[in-house]
Amino acid sequence: MRPKTRSNDWPNSIRRAFFVAMAALCIAAALPVQAASNSTDKWTFVSFPDYFNFDVPNPKPEWEDAIDWQLDQIAAEDPVFCLVAGDLVNGHWWDGPRQIEHLGNVYYGGWMRRMRDHGLKVYAAIGDHELGDDPWPPKKAKLKPHFEDAFVAHLDPPRNGPEGFKGLAYYVRHRNVLVITVETFEEHDGKILPTVSGRQLQWVEETLSEHGPDADFIVVQGHAPILPGVKSRSSSRIMLKGGRDSEFWQVMKRHGVDLYLCGEHHDITCKEADGIWQIVHGGSWGRKVIPDTNYLRAHVGPDRMELALKEVPLICKGNNIWNIHKSRGPRDIVQISDEAKKKGFQTIGTVTIEKNANGKKFTNITGAFAEHQ
């Protein structure tokens, strides 16, 4: 029998080359999205928070055609990545750590398979449903680390955030865009509150200081909106404490953030303040009171970001499907009509963010982006 060759038996030159190559691979694997050199070519990302907001098995026969069609339309945009600002699942898994682990395997596993099947790379923020859903009595609040572990294990985000927030707060860089994801639910004296503060806020400011100056555009995503006056449907209407006066908003203002993408309210509200567009969008699948689904598409060039919100109607009918610890789940049947498919996603609002030596300006403001101007 031919003896196995061990690395210790290799000549020094070969061994050194091998370990140098392996070190390079490890470093590359640890990096966030590649910080490629700026290019004049446009590229695309999309955003669709609160997808699905319920525990949806995979497969769910009466939903699959609608899900596949929507994800096919998103994939046709050819996005480099997708941003999902929380509430992927229902998450009412508060009976203990073993239940969180088991149902996380079932529902996060099924959610991620759908994304992989459509070739979509996802960067998600943690929502209240990923933490068992609000409110948080002491028994549920104590499970927060277990909920967070399940989210990180299945979504596999970058771990370049601060201690205590690894995989929950993180950044990625692609070409000329910096994207920062935050966890808008922090523990304060045993209570879970909608804030971005302390160690996490310090990390946000440090990341903006280090990586923001050479980025043409800066995008931040978190689950809870900050600016008031947000339309809501079938939502607990969570808002970040302090609103526009919060130190988190003020940090984004100081560092010239362009977009704050969020969800929670299952409706669309686009507002601009201090040069930052807060875009609340997304939906909750299967609710008759939310008869549509939407996504945001961003085309990015070296001096402009062209945003378009797109929407299509849903048909939700039948009985409620089972979700643990949820008396009224989503409807058993979700469809998109042939007529709606033929028309495709309809653009319901646009804005272009332009930047040059004279600063930033907003043009082509229509539809949902013009409502609060």
Quick one: tokens of 276? Answer: 């930052």
Quick one: tokens of 213? Answer: 């100056």
* pLDDT by position in tens, the chain (length 373): 434 343 444 444 444 444 334 434 433 444 454 444 445 689 999 999 999 999 999 999 999 999 999 999 999 999 999 999 999 999 999 999 999 999 999 999 999 999 999 999 999 999 999 999 999 999 999 999 999 999 999 999 999 999 999 999 999 999 999 999 999 999 999 999 999 999 999 999 999 999 999 999 999 999 999 999 999 999 999 999 999 999 999 999 999 999 999 999 999 999 999 999 999 999 999 999 999 999 999 999 999 999 999 999 999 999 999 999 998 889 999 999 999 999 999 999 999 999 998 999 999 999 999 997 6
265 close to 227: Cβ distance less than 8 angstroms = no
Bridge partners, residue 21, by sequence? none
Q: Which CATH class is domain 41-367?
A: alpha beta
Amino acid at 131: L
115 close to 74: Cβ distance less than 8 angstroms = no
Calculate the alpha carbon distances from 246 to 228, 241, 256, 354 in Å.
Answer: 12, 7, 16, 27
- Give pLDDT, residue 173: 98
Q: Any idea where the domains of the chain sit in the sequence? A: 41-367
The pLDDT tens digits of the residues spanning 147-156 come to 999 999 999 9
Which of 323, 287, 265 has its CA nearest to residue 93?
323
Quick one: tokens of 331? Answer: 């409807």
- Give pLDDT, residue 373: 67
pTM value is: 0.90
Quick one: tokens of 310? Answer: 């797109």
118 close to 74: Cβ distance less than 8 angstroms = yes
The pLDDT tens digits of the residues spanning 63-73 come to 999 999 999 99
Bridge partners, residue 305, by sequence? 300, 353
The pLDDT tens digits of the residues spanning 165-208 come to 999 999 999 999 999 999 999 999 999 999 999 999 999 999 99
